[in-house]
Structure 1
């Protein structure tokens, strides 16, 4: 029986890297294509079975790469911060527009499943710009007709080492062992999670 094929966007990020490595280890998947801005550091992705297929693309012409979405499962880990992006408009371009285009391309190529990273507290009516954009994206994708199977993961603070420095996130990670045990019941969704946990959840949300 042929294995599944996967497409990953955002493979160099904290969750993306964990996700790709989990997919490479899973027997269910025989091909993992990654669309990236620059060549991957292959030492970060042990691939004894040669499943990994990195492809450098120009995200300013994202629509031109529709053919790569002809896979079973699409995983979208694209995301940035306003500080990194440089402006709210640039942030929205990555966290809303690129992810929304990815969902449209997955639909056009009839991918069986599309899973992306949102955020705990995502709400299109939020006064917080970050959460508002995440909420608007959820609404846009979940209302998209003929997208076979779409699902979002909503992580809280992500635990793990990033290549880039995120000051507030760094403080949160240091304090996490102190406050995490206090987050119970309705507050449990705010518990910090590891990139590996989020990646596992993304895989589990894809259809069989």
Structure 2
């Protein structure tokens, strides 16, 4: 395994991003990890560089940053963002800006946390934005793109999301019943997704796989 690769992660203060950062720092595959943040996070590791940026100027802020792999774990909700335009800025504009500047800088693998049901043709605004983001990332021409489409994520968030909290409680009862075609709708442990993100990046250059790989939630449910 190549132990000299570098990674950049967006969304390291969130549920999946924080777990992904932990696994990146523990991975023998990576010598350097850059976390792009609004404010410093409480993680101290010799591999880690924290880059505090204005996300509205992401292309300018990252113009001199060069890494092999980019992990995009950015994501919000309509309520938290404060409306459709603000949501689109976080879930579409920021990931696409990061992809554009990092591809220009030589990054070869972009790993995007999207969502179950992402499609530009969806009737739902949330899923349309996610689908539009996927397409825009693919258009940047990375040698490798991995798209993850998880269902409801299970894990302890720093901020409270009432509806997601209700969903998590329901998932504890319903997950055992989610078999066959229903499996992709079962709640997914956030740590399982984070591990899969890092594993897919580690193995991209060592096993046969398509340049574009989309992993649906039922794929992510399977053991690593």
Alignment of 1:94-109 (within 5 A): 94-109=90-105
166-175 vs 180-189, greater mean Cα deviation: 180-189
User: Displacement of 1:135 after TM fit?
Assistant: 1.1
Q: TM-score, normalised by structure 1?
A: 0.92
Distance 1:76 1:177 in 2: 28
Q: Which runs of 5+ in 1 are unaligned?
A: none
Change in CA separation of 1:173 and 1:2 when aligned onto 2, cut-off 3 Å: closer
The aligned counterpart of 1:126 is 122
The aligned counterpart of 2:60 is 64
The aligned counterpart of 2:30 is 29
Computed over aligned residues only, the root mean square deviation of the Cα atoms, in angstroms, reads 1.4
Of the three residues 78, 89, 109, the one matched with 1:93 is: 89
Q: TM-score, normalised by structure 2?
A: 0.86
Distance 1:88 1:80 in 2: 11
Q: Is 1:186–2:186 an aligned residue pair?
A: no
User: Displacement of 1:205 after TM fit?
Assistant: 2.5
Distance 1:141 1:187 in 2: 28
Distance 1:80 1:169 in 2: 12
Contact 1:8 1:77 in 2 (8 A): yes
Contact 1:80 1:91 in 2 (8 A): yes
The aligned counterpart of 1:12 is 13
User: Displacement of 1:146 after TM fit?
Assistant: 2.6
Instruction: Report the number of matched residues.
Output: 202
Q: Which runs of 5+ in 2 are unaligned?
A: 206-224
The aligned counterpart of 2:48 is 52
User: Displacement of 1:12 after TM fit?
Assistant: 0.2
